[in-house]
Amino acid sequence: MLCFNPEYRMRKAIGSVFIYKIDPYTMSLTGQKIIHPLNAIVLALINGKRSINEIIGLLAEVGGVDKEKANNFLTNFISNSANFLVNDRVNDLYKPEDFIIPVNDINMASFRLCSPLSLALLITYTCTSDCVYCYANRNSAEDKTEMDLKFAKIIVDQAKDCDVQLIYLGGGDPFIKPWCIELVKYIIDKGITVGLSTKEYLPIGKCEELAVAGIDHIQLSIDSLDTKIASDITGRPYFLTEIIETINNLQRFNIEVTTNRVVMKRNLTQIPELLGFLLKMGTKHIILSRYYRSTFRHSDEFFVSDDDVQWLLGMIDSVEGIQHANIARPRLIKDGMGNAKQIETFLSRTSCAFGRIGLVVTPSGKVIPCEQLPTITPFVLGDLHNATLEEVWRSKELMNLFHPHIEHFNSTTCHECEYFDKCIYDRGLCIRDVFKVCGKPFGIHPYCPHADYGVRLV
């Protein structure tokens, strides 16, 4: 029998339904798509237990149509939804009635979940590394309070109440906290997927604790096999030796390692050799992140050109064993939004996740839209010492940023633009990138064809 693929999940949104997968290796949501409530109802019906004839009968009965029309509808639906369906599985997690939305409330243009789905929980800003490209607000004068385990668990409890499905533990480096693994186990025991990333040295004992806690994957960063370059990038003289030993220690307990590196001028030519080395170590999940301007520390010398990236892409394909790896490659600017020439292309960009899918909690308990923004007004949406996560999600502070009044754009071309609603409300303004180029939350999007900041982001 056909079944809605259990690897996918559905969440009711305001006016639509969100379908997605959780990728533990990139610690992100993938396969994201907004679907009509009727499609979600049908996917819930296809649970691996009901026969096609049973589903046709239910559709005919509920829809008030004859079985022939219901059959034609279902046949077309199955044909167009092959990516979401599998054979010989069971998925009875969803009830069709949970996705009923009144016709007048259906909105397929503007998307926002009824509650947060993901949470970045920054339990500390402390880190033993001092990476040149770091985007964390580590030297913040306005947010020096450190989180304790008791408060962290309270936040996890609130996340569970909101049906959060993914918690990314970040900072800083979460392993600075001696109770990090206890918190990891607490999150897993709540049935929430946890994402972990570190540059810390993890001895065998700590890796065993992670395995016992239920961790089967983790992300590590390693930017070069050249000892000096690796040390210069991280600010740690023995970083390369320690991170390689950490990979070996994790693999002893069958914890899969995703390796990430930031592609910069400084390490560009060493990356192919590094990938070959990591593949021989048995790491099969590889992320190549093109350097992106940091809010808190930046140098133009870190940028790579499209020619650099094109060279790297060609070299990657020649690395032995690369065909067996799961690799996220850096994008060319001309293939992304960096030089969008037509408004139609710009308006088809990926929606910003802020206010739609997730939030960020700082070590002091303050909630902000993005970990790359400072903990200052108007970015502080609430404080979990005196408000719940759900209350912050519905707060006027959040909505003021998520759905800003047009008067905030008085001095920009946005104010008179015919696409304002579609651009700002439907697709979402990336206030992080706007802040990076002009130092304020509201302004023309840096990738808009009308933008002319003269400031490079990538």
* Residue 378: other Cβ atoms inside 10 A: 14
pLDDT at 347 over 70: yes
Is the model's pLDDT at 302 over the cut of 70?
yes
Interatomic CA distance for residues 405 and 394, integer angstroms: 17
Q: Once rounded to an integer, what is the mean pLDDT over residues 375-390?
A: 96
Asked if residue 140 has pLDDT above 80, the reply is no
Give pLDDT, residue 24.
77
Query: CA–CA separation, 160 vs 167, rounded Å?
Result: 10
When pLDDT is averaged across residues 275-289 and rounded to a whole number, the result is 94
106 falls in which pLDDT band (50, 70, 90)? very high
Q: Mind listing the pLDDT tens digit for each residue in 147-157?
A: 999 999 999 99
What is the DSSP-derived secondary structure letter of residue 280? H
How many other CB atoms are found less than 10 A from the CB of residue 250?
24
- The identity of residue 202, as a single letter, is L
What SS3 class is residue 244?
helix
pLDDT tens track for 166-212: 999 998 999 999 999 999 999 999 999 999 999 999 999 999 999 99
Query: pTM for this one?
Result: 0.93
The rounded mean pLDDT for the chain is 93
Q: For residue range 304-322, list pLDDT tens digits in order.
A: 999 999 999 999 999 988 9
Q: Which residues pair with 290 in a beta bridge?
A: 263
pLDDT digit string (tens) for 261-281? 999 999 999 999 999 999 999
447 Cα distance to chain centroid: 20
The pLDDT value given to residue 335:
47
Contact 175, 198 (CB under 8 A): yes
- Whether residue 226 is predicted with pLDDT greater than 80 in this model: the reply is yes
Residue 375 in contact with residue 408, Cβ under 8 Å?
no
Strand segments, DSSP code E, in 332-451 are: 358-361, 366-368, 382-383
> Is 286:326 a contact under the CB 8 Å cutoff?
yes
What SS3 state is found at 407? helix
The predicted structure's pLDDT at residue 336: 47
Average pLDDT over residues 292-297: 91
Q: How many C-alpha atoms does 228 have within 13 Å on its Cβ side?
A: 1
Please report the pLDDT score of residue 337 as a whole number. 46
Q: 417: pLDDT confidence band, cut at 50, 70 and 90? A: very high
Q: Which residues pair with 419 in a beta bridge?
A: none
Q: Give the model's pLDDT for residue 349.
A: 84
What is the Cα–Cα distance from 4 to 125, expressed in whole angstroms?
Answer: 41
Instruction: Give me the percent of the chain exceeding a pLDDT of 70.
Output: 97
From 51-55, 226-230, 341-345, 397-401, the region with the lowest mean pLDDT: 341-345
Q: Which tokens is 78 given? A: 């199955």
pLDDT at position 126 is 92
Nearest Cα residue to 375 out of 443, 292, 428, 435:
435
**Strand ranges across the sheet with 28-35:** 9-12, 17-23, 28-35
State the pLDDT at residue 104: 95
Return the exposure string of 97-132: e unless at least 16 CB atoms fall within 10 Å of the residue's CB, then b: eebebeeeeeeeebbbbbbbbbbbbbbbbebbbebb
Long-range contact set of residues 443-446: C-beta below 8 Å, sequence gap at least 24: 443/409, 443/412, 443/414, 444/409, 444/412, 444/413, 444/414, 445/346
pLDDT > 60? residue 338: no
pLDDT one-digit tens code per residue, 25-56: 888 899 899 999 999 999 999 999 999 999 99
CA distance 297 to 235: 14
Q: What pLDDT sits at residue 141?
A: 52
